[in-house]
Chains A and B, each alone.
Chain A
Amino acid sequence: MTVSLNDLVFVAMALVIVVAATGVVMLKNIVHSALSLILAFVGVAGIYFQLSAGFIGLVQIMVYAGAISVLIIFAIMLVMDKSVEKTNLFSPNIIRLLAGMGLTFLLFVTLGVSIWFTKFPVVPAEGPVDAVGMLANLFMGDYVIAFETAAILLLVAVIGAIILAKGAEDKQ
């Protein structure tokens, strides 16, 4: 079994993602948690590059690591009122913690076993050369309604976020 460079890159990226994701959930300082989330996003972008989906990888970096992360860190700074070390603790309710752990473990076992023992119809072929062009054709062709709906959704989200964050004003 030859181990190619692609496989090593996958293992490296997967390690980065899993460690960063564990950091998001386990770290007690919420700002460190947010920075760990950014690392996870960059790791996922690495996986996309390794899967020859360069355009999606760059969209991931631009949207997630460049904009959503900034939004999350701004929100953290706006709502912080006590010392930062204890801002991201686990719930004190032991039953809730145990139930959460149990449910997660159950889901992981179910999904993991079903994935491991499924024979997927893998087609060994190289991806399309002009993925960006094909994506553009799909966006403006078969999926144009979904595209326009996504645009309206973003508009509504922008207006809604501004109104919610500004707060209601008393009409004098």
Chain B
Amino acid sequence: MIGLTHYLLLGTVVFCIGLFGVLSKRNAIAVLMSVELMLNAVNINFVAINKFITPNDVTGQLFSIFVIVVAAAEVAVGLALIISIYRHRKSVDLNDFNLLKW
């Protein structure tokens, strides 16, 4: 009864919640957490399509492992960047990172 459509819709809902977080949060770390939500939604799509459309092949799962790897690397570097910026600006509020504004 639960088909591929439901999994893809779940992925869409989580993606949109993450997108809203990225666009509207003030704290840089909260934006990173919302990006992680978006990556997880994409992974759900990969694995669900792999199970329903090509069940004898595991390529979808392989790509979701690559997405997890890239997400891990990105979170590490992103958080290191935020900590480095915090040292200089003493804040992680995105509105305070305004040196390039004219």
Are any A and B Cβ atoms less than 8 Å apart in their complex? Answer: yes
B36 to chain A, nearest CB (A): 7
Contact of B75 among A40, A72, A92 (CB under 8 A): A72
Contact of A153 among B68, B73, B81 (CB under 8 A): B73
**CB closest chain-A residue, reference B10:** A14
Q: Please report the number of residue pairs spanning A and B whose Cβ atoms sit closer than 8 angstroms.
A: 237
B29 to chain A, nearest CB (A): 6
A71/B52 contact (C-beta < 8 A), A3-B1, A116-B9 known: no
B62 touches A138 (CB 8 A): yes
A161 to B77, CA, bound (A): 5
Interface residues on B, range: 35 or more
Centre residue among A53, A118, A125 by max chain B CB count within 10 A = A53
A41 to chain B, nearest CB (A): 7
Contact of B40 among A41, A105, A112, A116 (CB under 8 A): A41
In the complex, chain A residues whose CB is within 8 Å of the CB of B47: 47-48, 51, 53, 56
Tell me whether chain B's interface is mostly helix, strand or loop, or mixed.
helix
In the complex, chain A residues whose CB is within 8 Å of the CB of B12: 108, 111-112, 115
In the complex, chain A residues whose CB is within 8 Å of the CB of B84: 164-165, 167
Interface residues on A, range: 35 or more
A75/B79 contact (C-beta < 8 A), A67-B72, A122-B4 known: yes
Binary flags per residue of B72-96, CB closer than 8 Å to A gives 1, else 0 = 1111110111111011001110110
A125/B44 contact (C-beta < 8 A), A72-B33, A167-B84 known: no
A33 to B17, CA, bound (A): 13
B20 touches A154 (CB 8 A): no
Can you name 11 extra interface pairs (CB under 8 A) apart from A51-B51, A72-B33, A72-B79? A10-B7, A18-B10, A25-B20, A25-B25, A25-B30, A92-B95, A100-B19, A115-B8, A135-B58, A157-B72, A160-B77
* Across the A-B interface, the 9 shortest Cβ-Cβ residue pairs: A100-B23, A157-B73, A164-B80, A161-B80, A25-B21, A75-B79, A100-B24, A165-B80, A161-B76
